[in-house]
Structure 1
Amino acid sequence: MDVLVSGASMAGLSAAYWFARLGHRVRVVERAEGLRPGGAPIDVRGKALGTAQRMGILGTIQAQKVSLIEPGPVLDGAGRQVATLDLRWFANETDEDVEITRDRLNRILLEAIPEGVEFRFKASIASLADGPQGVDVTFSDGGQGRYDLVVGADGLHSNVRKLAFGPEKDYVRHFGHYVALVDLPSDRDWQRAMLNVPGLTIAVRDAGDGPQAMMLAASPPIDYDWRDIDAQRRLIAQFLSRVDAWQVPALRAAFADPAARGFYFDSVSQTHMPGWTRGNVAVIGDAGHCAALLSGMGTTLAMVSAELLATTWTAHGGDMAAASPAYHAQLRPYVAQCQAFAHEGAPIMVPPTQEALDRRNAEFRAYAARYAAAA
């Protein structure tokens, strides 16, 4: 059968692997010129470890993991150290969980995909017409094709979801924060630390291939064009204008630099849908059930949902009406569990008030004391 996958990141590459492995003809379309670089290190956790093992890539992922370094200082708004943070206190669901850079995982997934999968970059889906004989697709370059299944693995702002299910506002829920990332230049030494003021976190960490800055800012939804990079840079500058201590002026300059690598800005949001299939179209990963950055479970859901969709659909002979109930029954509880983790992560990463921040820092100091006593 013919399967079209829209999106070439973790969800899309995982889907391409599984559908091809199960004997289907697979085409992948991606709006970008190639695999999109940059992004925060991500986690392969929980059920995704089993998926990676069945794909034959778990050993490679483990060999290329990002090693957690020594605990880092936690700073107040004046740049003074008030606590210490060891990510191992909170980061892992099991001892086997792996943190890896997005670029490394994408390359591993790409190299695992069987021969014969067709990739079309700088291409996207312009229209979908689902019918009894399949889905008729028109592409942005004017090309056309008919597919037995179309899989939207095209992220939070999914085009496939919009075309097949309806507007983004019906499914994407703002989680109260915005996130920004940028790779930092190597021509200076950067202190790895995390600075907090109420509702704002500014951090520098080693992202595996060099230093990276991250900003998390509490904010109600902002009306802006998510495709407008200049508007994104202006919003980041506004958020960071609250602090001038530590390395923040240099970080502001890094985020403002048009030549900076790994630039990213978006809302921290979740996707909630009553169903992830409609006719012969399905959405997976952030397009269907984004767990939000604060959950640490986005990549896990992407990989797990790709395997489950491919195996369930194939087991039912490509009949989505028959496959959908079993698919949802297996995936829905895990999605709910993963999305719930974001509610735990927000108070740790972005305390909203000074009182909450003081309480969080006291907890960090208590954790540090207990770990030191046990060492």
Structure 2
Amino acid sequence: MKRAVIVGAGIAGLATALRLARDGWHPLVVERSPTRRSGGYLVNLLATGYDAAEGLGLVPALSDRALGPFTTVLVRADGRPKLTVPAAVAEAALGPRTMTVFRGDLETALYEAVRDRVEIRFGTTVSTIDSTDDRVRISLSDGTTEDADLLVGADGVHSATRTATVGPDHRVDLPYVVAAFPLAHPVTGVPESSATTFIGPGRTAAIVNLGPGRSSAFFTYRCADPARELERGPVDALRATFGDLAGGAPEAIRHLQTDPAGAYFDRVSQVDSPRWSAGRTVLLGDAAWCVTLFAGHGAALALAGADQLGTALRRHGDDVPSALADWETGLRPEVVKRQALARRGMYQYAPPSRFHVWMNDLTIRAVTLPGVRGVVRRGIERQNR
């Protein structure tokens, strides 16, 4: 039985473990964190991402956690509504093979699918990697050594596996910070089954209310020194940047004070690596190609990447390096496209001027018109081919 060591128990790592286990591999997942982690922001599974979720057998479990369509209300800084995008409009634009879930729910579905068939060691990291043409030997922080046919680095945008494999200089840090976190209770003023979104020059604040335990907050903003913002911590940084807003944003930040460690709070980065594999070591997910939250396809690409990696390995049999090269050739064009879309998406999430805000509003208003809706849907379908 072939052995794979997978670094990282996030979406990319667990999806890879699930696919390889189904194909007869014996995966071991090692995770730096002592326990499972989860994030409260929303992810969309569409196109190849939905196909991968279906192929991995996740759709039935995710259907129970799917959030369904909801209305989005764009608001001004004082909380007054600016325009409304009904749930039916968003649903029609995205199409039927789409699913919106919380990231934590997707990770839970993956974990429940693999926990009885894959070994997972929490609080464990990779100490050394020694690769040959035939095997890769991995020394772990728990004092054990694994001889494997494949090492998968699915350890995120700050990947230590990437540094050891292709070098440290492939992360491109952008002048933005993002925060996302679950809300135990809905905030005041955001109707149920809806979201309020403020978009102003250089910043966005979105509050989603889908009921108790199904609500979340998302903030992003442009800044000159992301490292300094991270040092301040999410509560102080968000209060300084969004404290002038009315509506749900200040209340959401107050909710965060009770559990600041539960927030995803980081600089916005992409990964532009010239190659995703070396010998029998391969990078997958954000470790290989982080497209950023601005692209909206990170989770979908992680699932699709894991599923397609399994297909390539099965096709090439014992020739693992050829399988990895074949897999990268097939997937890289989609990643390049998503990264380019993310760079354009910065103008939507952090518009550089009031004029750009006005243009974004104009575009959103157009989407609500029946005659334009079909055009938008066809455009989304073309992007997802």
User: Could you say whether these structures have the same fold, taking a TM-score greater than 0.5 normalized by the shorter chain as the test?
Assistant: yes
The residue that corresponds to 2:334 in the other structure is 334
**What do residues 122-141 of structure 1 show as CA deviations (whole Å, max 9, x unaligned)?**
11112222223422222223
How many pairs does the alignment contain? 367
2:237 corresponds in structure 1 to 235
Partner residue of 2:101? 100
Structure 2 CA distance for aligned equivalents of residues 110 and 63 of structure 1 = 16
Opposite residue 182 of structure 1, the aligned amino acid is: F
Which stretch of structure 1 is more off in the superposition, 298-307 or 36-45? 36-45
1:125 matched to 2:126? The reply is yes
Post-superposition Cα deviations, 1:235-262, rounded to whole Å, max 9, x if no partner, equal 3333224x2433343233233x152574
- 1:129-144 correspondence to structure 2 within 5 Å: 129-144=130-145
Letter in 1 for 2:259: A
CA contact (8 A) 1:15 1:307 kept: yes
Does the C-alpha gap of structure 1 residues 225 and 247 become closer, same or farther in structure 2, counting only changes over 3 Å? closer
1:190 shift after superposition: 4.5
- 2:42 match: 41
CA contact (8 A) 1:43 1:300 kept: yes
1:67-78 alignment runs, 5 A limit:
67-69=68-70, 71-78=71-78
Query: Quick check: 316-325 or 285-294, which moved more?
Result: 316-325
Aligned residue number for residue 215 of structure 2: 211
> 2:259 is matched with which residue?
259
Question: Percentage identity across aligned positions?
Answer: 26
Corresponding position of 1:112 = 113
For residue 200 of structure 2, what is the aligned residue in structure 1? 197
Question: What letter matches 1:82 in structure 2?
Answer: K
Q: Is the 8 A contact 1:201 1:350 kept in 2?
A: yes
* Structure 2 residue aligned with 1:308: 308
Residue in 1 that maps onto 2:377: none
1:148 and 2:156 matched: no
Q: CA-atom RMSD, angstroms?
A: 2.8
Q: What residue identity is the alignment partner of 1:101?
A: F
Matched, 1:297 2:297: yes
CA distance in 1, matches of 2:163, 2:228: 18
Distance in 1, Cα, partners of 2:184 & 2:3: 44
CA distance in 2, matches of 1:314, 1:189: 52
> What secondary structure, in the 3-state scheme, does the structure 1 residue paired with 2:39 have?
coil
SS in 2 for 1:302: helix
Return the offset for 1:215.
0.6
Change (3 A) 1:178 1:97: same
The gaps in structure 1 that reach 5 residues or longer are none
CA offset at residue 74 of structure 1? 1.3
Identify if the C-alpha distance between structure 1 residues 176 and 188 changes in structure 2 by more than 3 Å, giving closer, same or farther: closer
CA contact (8 A) 2:277 2:324 kept: yes
Secondary structure class of the residue paired with 2:251? helix
Deviations 1:161-203 (A, max 9, x none): 1222211xx2122344221012234285352411222111111
**1:183·1:261 contact (CA, 8 Å) conserved in 2?**
no
Shift in CA distance, 371/215, structure 1 to aligned 2, threshold 3 Å: farther
The CA deviation at 1:3 is: 0.4
Gaps of 5+ in 2: 375-385
Is the Cα–Cα contact under 8 Å of residues 153 and 284 in structure 1 kept in the other structure?
Answer: yes
Are residues 107 and 361 of structure 1, via their aligned partners in 2, closer, same or farther at CA, if it must alter by over 3 Å?
same
CA distance in 2, matches of 1:259, 1:370: 43
After TM superposition, the score normalised by the length of structure 1 is: 0.88
In the alignment, is the contact (CA less than 8 A) between 2:38 and 2:107 conserved in 1? Answer: no
